[in-house]
Structure 1
Amino acid sequence: MNLFIGIDVGKLNLSYCAINSDDQCLFQDEASNDLNGASQIKQAILAETKLSDYQKVIVGMEATSVYNFHPTTFLSEDQELQKNQLEVITINPYTSHHFSELFDDGKTDEVDAKQLAELIRVKPLGTSVVRQEKYMALQRLTRERYHLIHQLVDAKNQFLNNLYYRCNTLDQTLPTSVFGSTMMSLITDEELSLDEAAAMPLDQLAVKLQQLGHGKFGNPEEVAKAIKKAVRSSYRLSKAVTESVDSILAVYAEIIRTLQAQITKLDKSIQQLSVQITEIKCLTSIPGIGAVFAAGIVSEIGQITRFPNESHIAKYAGLAWMPHESGTSIRQSTPRTRKGNQYLRYYLVEAANSVRRYDPTFQRYYQKKYKEVPKYRHKRAAVLTARKLVRLVDVLIRNNQLYVPPETGIAE
């Protein structure tokens, strides 16, 4: 006999319901989403386990942004509950939503809690939570880095959009990135405006670029030619529009610099914490994977024993393609699942895209997948390469070993 507790998590409240293997409702109530409320649920579980001898106690709740973090951590780490073989799993809201559609019970917090309990009684479709604090600490850093990276990408896109108004051919002709410190200073008119640069003699502009770059600017003559050509060939704006666009460019330039500085600070914190985690050393032995990518992967996987095999990790990351069969018809092209852990998927894809530049085996695999289709080549090849990387990640972490290239005798 097992005990199943479903908890519907809200920002302020926790609605919970307990049923047994015979689908009998044993208790149901609501508590506040704080330490007192979690303790109330704990006492209800302990009281029930004293009345009956349960082989296993499973608590299930949806992954609800940050709101389920504290109750899952509290219940999974409590020593008294662990004596009763308690397991806490997080359920994909997509799964619980479709399960609830099987019933005609309406939607309330109490109903949701009971349906979650029913779901894990039928089949515990979820992943046990990460327990060790080292993984959780690392996870906070790598997840915030993920969000900062996306903010940075958005800021750069907005910068480029406004740069098109100011000088619409510049990013097409430049042999260097517009986001380098020298070019950002030039574009935002901090020391020298684009119009002033275009009016300068070529040799003087090249010297000025070298000065702005503190002697580290590569091929200043070529860049100077590209700037003069871009300014001459671009559309002219009125003074009022030019000033407004310049103000916007300056704002986004500051945002980009700030985000880059914050990401650098997070990277340092990640690297410092990574030294304490053995699994990260295993992954950084793969050419192309540094401490940050390895930390992102390890922090989301947590204890490798949470997953029976590598296919479960891939599915958890959303790197899985569901089979589609009907009678004798088998669909050859199936879409990738849109469910899964977005953070793990991001770090696996980024890591795979880096590994394929250094490792010949992954490079050949990427090129093979790249050539198979005429559209979305890189995106498809990178995702498939990430799925291949999952197998290697699983082997290295599960066996606590370092990576050795295939030609030396270790299978990939």
Structure 2
Amino acid sequence: MKNYRTYIGIDVAKLTLDYCIVKEDPQLEQGQILNTQKSVDKFLKTLKKTGCQMNETLFVFENTGIYSSLLALVLSENSLDYAQVPALEIKRSLGITRGKSDKVDAKEIAHYAKRNTDKIALSTLPELSLQQLKIVFAEREKTVAAIKTFERTKENEMFLTKEVFNSVKAINNQTVKHLKKQLVMLDEKIRTLIREDENLYGQQQLLKSIPGIGDITSVYILMATKGFTAFTSGRKFACYSGVAPFEHSSGTSIKGKTRVSHLADKKMKTLLHMASLTAIKYNPELKDYYNRKKAEGKHTMLVLNNIKCKMVYRIFAVIQRKSNFVNLHKFAA
């Protein structure tokens, strides 16, 4: 890890950025700027004018989604080192604390950066195609949720008189019809974005060669792994997805069952669960495995979680080999 002389912790809010600068000098420098590109650019110029060596400076801030994306973009464009750290990681590193304010949070983030320099992994901005894919997919998720919400209106028909329900029926049908058209357009936009990126398209085809993985699951995997640049192994991605088992024991008295962590990408975990159910139907090898473990008395969810892990390792295997999944089970004697 690079040696830094200056650590800048930033607490990100919708409208403002509170910062704290920690140097070798024990005196802290704190302040607040607007969360706009103009303000961030001015802040970086001020740092340079005051003699701050930008190539020896580390910026650290919480990953707050869309609110921190502008800051990450400006830092990336200026080729500066920065790290977007999960809020929970910073919170748990602080120990027992009392009170909370943006100013205090910025100071704690700066001290966290200085203490954990050797553990912090620098962040990079995803490729433009992945950024576009992410926001279009988010729009798709909202559209799907909206369709489900408006379709629930039909449940009222059996409890209301015809005259009462007809007052909203036509409007509701038009709304659902429009939303479904929007969904088709969003799906086509997602396909177009992937086709335009040769690397993403090739990776998606490899993923879809695995029984159980379809269009939506493959797209989300590409986003979650940033085109397989964010994770170096299947085990790390299994941990991220909440399907990797961990031991729970202490001394001779505590012998807890091995279980998965609740800290996970819940959307990814759900998609892997649905993919495992599909794989059981259409992949003879996993179907035999599922039936064999169930016959041994294993719990259904335990067996399904094992299948999710197997699928994760298959995902990374086809990407690393750059070849489609091959079902060796059919060649078995």
TM-score normalised to structure 1 length = 0.65
Match of 1:162 among 156, 165, 173: 156
Distance 1:161 1:383, change over 3 A: farther
Superposition deviation, residue 384 in structure 1? 5.0
| In 2: Cα distance, 1:23 partner to 1:393 partner | 49
| In 2: Cα distance, 1:252 partner to 1:373 partner | 46
* Residue 277 of structure 2 is aligned to residue 357 of structure 1: no
Matches within 5 A, 1:272-283: 272-275=192-195, 276=197, 277=200, 278-283=202-207
Corresponding residue for residue 110 of structure 1: 103
* Residue 328 of structure 2 is aligned to residue 326 of structure 1: no
Secondary structure in structure 2 of the residue aligned to 1:118: helix
Fraction of identical pairs, as percent: 22
State whether residues 322 and 337 of structure 1, in contact with CA within 8 Å, keep that contact through their aligned partners in structure 2: yes
Corresponding residue for residue 239 of structure 2: 315
| In 1: Cα distance, 2:249 partner to 2:188 partner | 48
Matches within 5 A, 1:6-405: 6-19=9-22, 27-43=29-45, 51=53, 54=56, 57-75=57-75, 77-81=76-80, 86-89=81-84, 91-100=85-94, 102-104=96-98, 106-123=99-116, 124=119, 128-156=123-151, 158-159=152-153, 161-163=155-157, 165-166=158-159, 241-248=161-168, 250-275=170-195, 276=197, 277=200, 278-328=202-252, 329-332=254-257, 334=259, 336-365=260-289, 385-405=307-327
Corresponding residue for residue 195 of structure 1: none
Alpha carbon RMSD of aligned pairs, Å? Answer: 3.5
State whether residues 146 and 343 of structure 1, in contact with CA within 8 Å, keep that contact through their aligned partners in structure 2: no
Secondary structure in structure 2 of the residue aligned to 1:344: helix
TM-score normalised to structure 2 length = 0.78
What amino acid does structure 2 have at the position aligned with 1:401? Answer: S
State whether residues 242 and 269 of structure 2, in contact with CA within 8 Å, keep that contact through their aligned partners in structure 1: yes
What amino acid does structure 2 have at the position aligned with 1:108? Answer: S
| In 1: Cα distance, 2:246 partner to 2:170 partner | 47
Corresponding residue for residue 178 of structure 1: none
| In 1: Cα distance, 2:39 partner to 2:290 partner | 50
Superposition deviation, residue 137 in structure 1? 1.2
Alignment length (residue pairs):
320
Structure 1 unaligned residues grouped into runs of 5+: 167-236
State whether residues 11 and 19 of structure 2, in contact with CA within 8 Å, keep that contact through their aligned partners in structure 1: yes
Q: Deviations over 1:201-240 (max 9, x none)?
A: xxxxxxxxxxxxxxxxxxxxxxxxxxxxxxxxxxxx6xxx
Q: Is 338-347 or 64-73 further displaced after alignment?
A: 338-347
Secondary structure in structure 2 of the residue aligned to 1:28: strand
Secondary structure in structure 2 of the residue aligned to 1:18: strand
Superposition deviation, residue 32 in structure 1? 0.9
Corresponding residue for residue 217 of structure 1: none
| In 2: Cα distance, 1:25 partner to 1:313 partner | 41
State whether residues 16 and 28 of structure 1, in contact with CA within 8 Å, keep that contact through their aligned partners in structure 2: yes
Secondary structure in structure 2 of the residue aligned to 1:68: helix
Distance 1:318 1:7, change over 3 A: farther
What amino acid does structure 2 have at the position aligned with 1:18? Answer: I
What amino acid does structure 1 have at the position aligned with 2:39? Answer: G
State whether residues 127 and 306 of structure 1, in contact with CA within 8 Å, keep that contact through their aligned partners in structure 2: no
What amino acid does structure 2 have at the position aligned with 1:66? Answer: I
Bigger-Rg structure (1/2)? 1
Superposition deviation, residue 14 in structure 1? 0.9
Q: Deviations over 1:13-49 (max 9, x none)?
A: 11122335x7956643221101022224434665688
Secondary structure in structure 2 of the residue aligned to 1:304: coil
